[in-house]
Amino acid sequence: MVNEQLGLSEKSKDFLENLRLYLFSSGKNSGEIKEIVEELEVHLYEAEQNGKSVEKIIGNSPKEYMEMISDEMTIDYKTSIKYICLIIFGSFSFRIFPDLLEGNLSYSVLEIAGHIVIGAIFVASIIIGFKYLSTRKQTLKKIIITLIPIMVLPIALFVGLLFLNHSVETPMIQFGHTGSLIVAAVTGIFLIGVSIWAKTWVMVVVVALLTLPDYFLSMTSLSDKMQLMISPWITFAGIAIYLWISFKLEKKRSES
Amino acid sequence: MSTTQMLKGILDGCLLAIIKNKEVYGYEIAKKLESYGFASLSEGTIYPLLIRMKKEELVTATSKKSTAGPRRKYYSLTLKGEEALQSFIKRWNGLQNNVNNVLRYESDGEETKGDEHGE
């Protein structure tokens, strides 16, 4: 995060955040990103103290300047692959736990391959979207117009995959009882590991909210139809409440 | 041709010379360049060059506390950097000489060097 104590102008702060986003989505080494952003922060601070404009430092095209810096930095393939795996396997876990409640796991080859491909498309669209946003003057409208397609695209593709899976027959992979338990255990360990590593429980919370309402509702005497109607609302409301609470906590932490 | 394009490569040598003289940080380098007449240059131009020079082990950087404000990153020249500076000075002197000769002889419109002498 940009150092608030320096009292940089909004324009300088925006530039630094955009630079960070641009370099991150270009797959650059995070240590090097931190270094150059901090160095430029110091420069902008001293320049502003002496009454210089941001343009005097970065020239008239922030995009060109960001490219100039990016060209000299090394690409960190290891970290990029780590993030891509996280997103793809993370999306698997959203699927695996709710499916476990229905019984043993079984997926068609098409489903598994499709899942990986959609994950990859999602990652690519995030990278393109972030790069686009970081090099332009951001308005709320532009951010929404960019982010909505990125969010809707994977949902649309998953729905497409669902239909395709019904009409095209590919070999099924049956996991059996022990197999399903092993997959569940591995996914569980993966989720907890990621949460500790990323210092956020958001994935565990979302998986729990996707899985548990169905489970508990199935133990009530409500009709199946009623259960189907209530369950998504509990999930969405739960996620909304979780995000709201974490936002409040984050705000409190940054204020203190 | 823009000044920035002409400056590419030359600026590297200038940075090496400034860093050789004294351990300096980014803003200081920019200020020095400005005082030498490079006023139209965007100050940030030096950072991509510094990143590359650090990668090529021509300079090293250490972060130091400053009396006022945040930590600064100070650059100093390595042995390899000094060699690069010496080689730059040599090439620059040669180049400067050649360009000056061309401009001197070609711009006064009289007989120029290397002209074909007819019968």
Dihedrals phi, psi of B24, to nearest 5 degrees: -130, 160
Give φ, ψ of A194 to 5 degrees. -60, -40
Backbone angles phi, psi at B59, to 5 degrees: -135, 160
pLDDT, mean of residues A17-32: 90
Distance (Å, whole) CA A114 – CA A91: 12
Per residue in B42-81, pLDDT (tens digit) is: 899 999 999 999 999 999 999 888 776 778 999 999 999 9
Output the pLDDT for position B70.
78
Q: List C-alpha distances in Å: A154 to A84, A88, A116, A158, B71.
A: 15, 12, 11, 6, 43
The answer as to whether A160 is a domain residue is: no
- Cβ atoms < 10 Å from Cβ of A199: 6
Contact flag B43-A73 (C-beta cutoff 8 Å): no
What is the distance in angstroms between the Cα of B82 and the nearest Cα belonging to chain A?
21
Contacts of B49 (CB under 8 A, 6+ apart): A72, B11, B12, B15
Query: Smallest Cα–Cα separation from A6: which of A42, A55, A33?
Result: A42
* Closest alpha carbon to A188 in A84, A93, A83: A93
For residue A55, give the chain B residue with the closest CA: B42
Position B54 scores a pLDDT of 94
Domain-by-domain residue ranges, chain B?
Answer: 3-107
Q: Which CATH number fits domain B3-107: 1.10.150.120, 3.30.470.10, 1.20.1370.20, 1.10.10.10?
A: 1.10.10.10
For chain B, which residues lie within 8 Å of any Cβ of chain A, measuring from their own Cβ? 25-27, 30, 42-45, 47-49, 51-52, 55, 69-73
Instruction: Give the strand pairing for B72-77 and A106-108.
Output: unpaired
pLDDT at A101: 80
Q: Is residue A25 part of a domain?
A: yes
**Is there a contact between B47 and A36 if contact means CB atoms under 8 Å apart?**
yes
Q: Which two tokens stand for residue B91?
A: 């090439």
Task: Return d(Cα A58, Cα A15) in angstroms, integer.
Answer: 9
Structure tokens at B88: 């730059």
Give the other-Cβ count within 10 Å of A70's Cβ: 20
Q: What gap in Å lies between CA B5 and CA B88, rounded to an integer?
A: 18
Give B110's pLDDT tier (boundaries 50, 70, 90).
low
Residue A30 CA: distances (Å) to CA of A12, A36, B75, B104: 20, 10, 21, 51
Contact B43 A41 (CB under 8 A): no
The pLDDT value given to residue A196: 86
Closest-CA distance, A135 to chain B, in angstroms, reads: 17
Is A199 domain-assigned?
yes
Map tokens 């922030």 to a residue: A62
Dist. CA A253–CA A256, nearest whole Å: 5
B57 backbone φψ class: left, alpha, beta (φ>0; ψ -120 to 50): left
Does A211 map to a domain?
Answer: yes
Domain boundary among A72, A92, A127: A72
Using an 8 Å CB-CB cutoff, list chain B residues near A4.
Answer: none
Domain end marker among A43, A72, A101? A72
**Is A34 part of the contact surface with chain B (CB cutoff 8 Å)?**
no
Number of structural domains found in chain A? 2
* Of the listed ranges A64-73, B92-101, B108-117, the one predicted with least confidence: B108-117
**Residue that is last in its domain, among A24, A47, A72:** A72
Whether the CB-CB separation of A217 and A231 falls below 8 Å is answered with: yes
Buried/exposed A178-197: b ≥16 CB within 10 Å, e otherwise: eebeebbeebeebbeebeee
- Looking at residue B110, the DSSP 8-state letter turns out to be S
Mean pLDDT: which of A159-163, A212-216, B105-109 is highest? A159-163
Report if residue A150 sits inside a domain: no
Domain assignment present for residue A48? The answer is: yes
pLDDT at B119: 45
Range of the domain at A194: 177-256
CB contact under 8 A, A42 and B73: yes
Q: Which tens digits make up the pLDDT trace of B45-55?
A: 999 999 999 99
Confidence of residue A3 (pLDDT cuts 50, 70, 90): low
Whether the CB of A3 is below 8 Å from some CB of chain B: the reply is yes
pLDDT digits (tens, 9 = 90+) for B19-28: 998 899 999 9
Tell me how close the Cα of B88 comes to any Cα of chain A, in angstroms.
21
Taking the CA atoms of residue B14, residue B20, residue B23 and residue B27 in that order, the dihedral angle to the nearest 10 degrees is 0
